[in-house]
């Protein structure tokens, strides 16, 4: 999970002093270190403390009226927290920990090592997000929504805290504006198109009347529902918010626009981080943190090319068998989506049928999960339409985890603003398997229901290569279970989805390692997937400012496949698919190196000689 664009453990490293001896460790020692790490980190990220609704004690003090420190000094404090914890953990004797604590030790140490390495690069958010403000990064991209949708306003204290945070937002914008200049002085300037995207969005907000900004309208609307604040006080609070937006926040937006405009003449169209100081090392560090592997860019690039070739060939075979022989594979896939039998009308009846079909898909595969998993997820899954009032700007589909106390089921949301053009029938099963069962819902529910995964791992640390890798593996597993046996076009939808993730490997490494232009990457992904150029442009521009992140998905899936192949080869007839999946899932989200060690431990416990 992301922490409002700030990693919990993002930092640079001061020197680490290793303990000369290795005293015997206890779970008490480990828990003491981890509890302090959680509290110290949340103290530096009051926004995340709010989103988790943790106690003030756990967050290291009052946080509801504060925002984080977005200056370089703030980043240095995050770093020091991480290096202190790293030093203390290294002083423990890992080998004396029980098995479950040893896993926690490995998970946290891997996260610390990768994040501290990434933070050696001082600009922006470190190696994983090296530019302070772009079309995707900077507090302007998340603080307005955070204040509108996560900061609670149900009583006078929370309302006063909102006012305090509104003032702090202006300071945060100015801290970032200062960093834009600092970064540029060190040769780190975002690509021209990334700066232009930020300027458009900043300018749009800057040009809004203060009373019409979401910072004021959301506050006014929520105050209206509070009965124990007098109407006159509500009016005064709204007026105060409007004054702060007019006199503090919007001028800070203008100063950020000015800071970006000042460096814009020095920006180039070069898309990759290779152009930055130590850019090659920066990309290698980002790749390692995002994929939790040591794979080199060339290796990842070739993996993507090989997969695209294989997946395209499979799609071609199926399409030919269906009588579709003319045009490229991408053109034929696009043509499938225009067939009348693939269209859900954008009507109430069409939307109802789409949701009914998704529920039927989930029910069918859930009934078969005992065939492939020993541990069964208990949390129910709801399939819900994205609320109509947010669907215009919302993504196509996403997953929201169940409440930890069981009060709310897991939910797979699907955007039904225009199913006739956006959701051809053949594309939906693989999305359902990814977001629902056996994908994110299954994995996250099992993690939440374990009852033994520490808070730092269940709430604060997440690993994209594991979580998204499992989501893609789940799509593949559904195919292996025969879910497309009577649905050739559904199989094409699964293969197209995989080709899109394989194309990410090619484009991300192409941009940052092989010095591809933005336009080369767009052309490559259009050819591989047949998707709309406009949506692919947004994708590619995302990869340019988050180097390495797009590689985590398919690298994760392929790593899980390699672990499975290795276990099957070692165990022969004793290989048990259910046991393998339980080994991967029951310890929650882990770095791939830790996942592999857990699988290897499981292999060692399976009794009997290997049969070939």
548 in the same domain as 479:
yes
Residue 140 lies in a domain: yes
Spatial contact of 58 and 40, defined as CB atoms under 8 Å apart: no
Query: Residue 61: pLDDT band by 50, 70, 90 thresholds?
Result: very high
Average pLDDT over residues 473-483: 98
Regarding whether 124 and 76 lie in a shared domain, the answer is yes
Same domain membership, residue 434 and residue 507: yes
What DSSP character marks residue 394? Answer: S
Q: Which of 69, 68, 67, 91 is nearest to 17 (CA)?
A: 91
317/443 same-domain check: yes
Residue 195 has a pLDDT of 97
> Of 87, 111, 130, which residue constitutes the final position of a domain?
130
CA distance 417 to 392: 7
Which residues have a Cβ under 8 Å from the Cβ of 86 and sit 6 or more positions away? 16, 109, 112, 113, 116
- Domain assignment of residue 306, yes or no: yes
The reported pLDDT for the residue numbered 11 is 29
Q: Is residue 608 part of a domain?
A: no
Contact 556, 465 (CB under 8 A): yes
Q: Tens digits of per-residue pLDDT, 205-232?
A: 999 999 999 999 999 999 999 999 999 9
Sheet with 397-400, side-by-side order of all strands: 381-385, 410-414, 397-400
% the chain with pLDDT above 90: 80
Cα distance between residue 277 and residue 295, in whole Å: 22
Identity of the highest mean pLDDT range in 25-39, 143-157, 362-376: 362-376
Residue 10 reports pLDDT greater than 90: no
* pLDDT value of position 20: 29
- How far apart CA 502 and CA 517 sit, in angstroms, is 19
What pLDDT band is residue 26 in, cutting at 50, 70 and 90? Answer: low
Q: What is the pLDDT of residues 89-122, one digit of tens each?
A: 999 999 999 989 999 999 999 999 999 999 999 9
Do the domain assignments include residue 142?
yes
Res 4 pLDDT > 50: no
pLDDT at 25: 53
Q: What would the mean pLDDT of 466-471 be, rounded to a whole number?
A: 96
Rounded to an integer, the average pLDDT of 491-504 is: 96
The 10 Å Cβ neighbour count of residue 588 is 24
217 shares its domain with 115: no
The pLDDT tens digits for 237-295 are 999 999 999 999 999 999 999 999 999 999 999 999 999 999 999 999 999 999 999 99
Q: Please report which confidence band the pLDDT of residue 460 belongs to, taking 50, 70 and 90 as the band edges.
A: confident
Residue 181 lies in a domain: yes
Considering the domain architecture, whether residues 375 and 331 belong to the same structural domain is answered as yes
Nearest to 504 by CA among 464, 561, 542: 542
pLDDT of 549 higher than 90: yes
* Pair (78, 147) in one structural domain: no
Question: DSSP 3-state helix, strand, coil percentages of the chain (rounded to 5)?
Answer: 65, 5, 35
- Structural domain ending residue among the three candidates 109, 130, 151: 130
Total tally of structural domains belonging to the chain: 3
| Structural domain contains residue 609 | no
| One domain, residues 505 and 380 | yes
How many Cβ atoms from other residues are within 10 Å of residue 13's Cβ?
18
If asked whether residues 158 and 172 sit together in one domain, one would say yes
Provide the pairing of β-strand 381-385 with 397-400. Answer: unpaired
Contact between residue 582 and residue 601 where contact means Cβ atoms under 8 Å apart: no
Position 15 scores a pLDDT of 24
What phi and psi values does residue 417 have, to the nearest 5 degrees? Answer: -65, -35
**Mean pLDDT score across all residues of the chain:** 91
Confidence grade of residue 393 (pLDDT, cut at 50, 70, 90): low
Q: Provide the pLDDT confidence category of residue 390 given band limits of 50, 70 and 90.
A: low
Pick the closest to residue 503 from 288, 305, 283 (CA basis).
305
Whether 486 has a pLDDT exceeding 50, the answer reads yes
Specify whether 140 is located in the same domain as 125: no
CA distance 491 to 466: 24
Split at pLDDT 50, 70, 90, the class of 392 is: low
More confident residue, 21 or 302: 302
Choice between 535 and 138, residue whose per-residue pLDDT is larger: 138
- The reported pLDDT for the residue numbered 407 is 72
> Is 591 among the domain residues?
no
Cα separation, 104 vs 111, in Å, equals 11
Q: Does residue 51 sit in the same domain as residue 121? A: yes
pLDDT, tens only, 412-435 = 989 898 999 889 999 999 999 999
For residue 315, tell me if it sits in a domain.
yes
Structural domain of 521: 289-552
Indicate the residue among 506, 532, 552 that finishes a domain: 552
Give me the residues paired with residue 383 across strands: 412
pLDDT at residue 519 above 90? yes
Cut 0.75: pTM above it = yes
162-176, 198-212, 387-401, 405-419: segment of lowest average pLDDT: 387-401
Residues 264, 339, single domain; the answer is no
């Amino acid at each position: 999970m992301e922490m409002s664009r700030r990693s919990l453990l993002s930092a640079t490293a001061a020197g680490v002093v290793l303990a000369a001896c290795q005293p015997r460790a206890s779970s008490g020692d480990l828990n003491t270190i981890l509890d302090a790490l959680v509290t110290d980190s949340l103290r530096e990220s009051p926004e995340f403390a709010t989103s988790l609704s943790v106690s003030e004690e756990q967050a290291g003090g009052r946080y509801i009226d504060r925002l984080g420190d977005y200056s370089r000094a703030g980043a240095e404090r995050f770093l020091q927290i991480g290096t202190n914890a790293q030093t203390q953990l290294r002083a423990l004797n890992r080998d004396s920990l029980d098995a479950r604590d040893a896993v926690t030790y490995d998970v946290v140490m891997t996260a610390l090592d990768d994040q501290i390495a990434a933070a050696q690069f001082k600009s922006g958010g470190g190696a994983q997000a090296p530019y302070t403000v772009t079309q995707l990064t900077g507090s302007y991209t998340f603080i307005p929504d955070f204040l509108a949708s996560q900061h609670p306003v149900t009583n006078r204290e929370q309302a006063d805290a909102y006012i305090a945070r509104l003032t702090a937002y202006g300071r945060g914008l100015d801290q970032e504006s200062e960093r834009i200049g600092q970064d540029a002085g060190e040769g780190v300037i975002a690509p021209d198109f990334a700066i232009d995207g930020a300027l458009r969005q900043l300018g749009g907000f800057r040009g809004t009347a203060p009373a019409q900004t979401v910072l004021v309208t959301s506050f006014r609307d929520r105050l209206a529902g509070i009965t124990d604040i007098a109407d006159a006080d509500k009016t005064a609070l709204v007026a105060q918010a409007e004054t702060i937006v007019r006199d503090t926040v919007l001028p800070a937006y203008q100063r950020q626009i000015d800071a970006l405009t000042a460096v814009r003449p020095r920006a180039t169209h070069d898309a990759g981080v290779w152009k930055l100081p130590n850019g090659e090392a920066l990309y290698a560090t980002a790749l390692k943190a995002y994929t939790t592997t040591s794979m080199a860019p060339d290796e990842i690039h070739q993996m993507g090319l090989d997969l695209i070739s294989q997946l395209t060939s499979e799609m071609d075979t199926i399409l030919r068998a269906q009588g579709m022989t003319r045009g490229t594979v991408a053109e034929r896939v696009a043509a499938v989506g225009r067939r009348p039998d693939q269209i859900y009308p954008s009507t109430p009846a069409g939307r109802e049928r789409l949701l009914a079909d998704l529920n039927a898909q989930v029910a069918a595969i859930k009934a078969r999960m005992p065939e492939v998993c020993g541990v069964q997820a208990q949390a129910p899954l709801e399939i819900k339409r994205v609320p109509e009032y947010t669907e215009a700007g919302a993504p196509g589909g996403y997953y929201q985890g169940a409440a930890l106390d069981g009060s709310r089921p897991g939910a797979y949301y699907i955007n039904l603003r225009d199913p006739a053009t956006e959701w051809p029938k053949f594309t939906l099963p693989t999305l359902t398997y990814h977001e629902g069962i056996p994908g994110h819902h299954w994995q996250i529910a099992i993690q939440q229901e374990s009852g033994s995964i520490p808070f730092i791992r269940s709430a604060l640390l997440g690993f994209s290569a594991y979580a998204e890798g499992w989501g893609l593996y789940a799509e593949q597993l559904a195919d292996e279970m025969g879910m497309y046996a009577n649905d050739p076009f559904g199989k094409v939808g699964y293969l197209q989805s995989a080709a899109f993730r394989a194309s990410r490997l090619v484009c991300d490494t192409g941009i940052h390692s092989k010095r591809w232009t933005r336009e080369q990457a767009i052309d490559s992904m259009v050819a591989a997937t047949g998707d709309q150029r406009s949506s692919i442009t947004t994708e590619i521009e995302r990869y340019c400012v988050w180097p390495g992140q797009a590689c985590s998905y398919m690298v994760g899936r392929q790593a899980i496949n390699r672990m499975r192949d290795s276990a099957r080869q070692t165990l022969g007839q004793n290989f048990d698919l259910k046991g393998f999946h339980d080994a991967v899932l029951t310890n929650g989200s882990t770095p791939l190196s830790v996942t592999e060690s857990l699988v290897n431990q499981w292999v060692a416990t399976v009794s009997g000689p290997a049969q070939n």
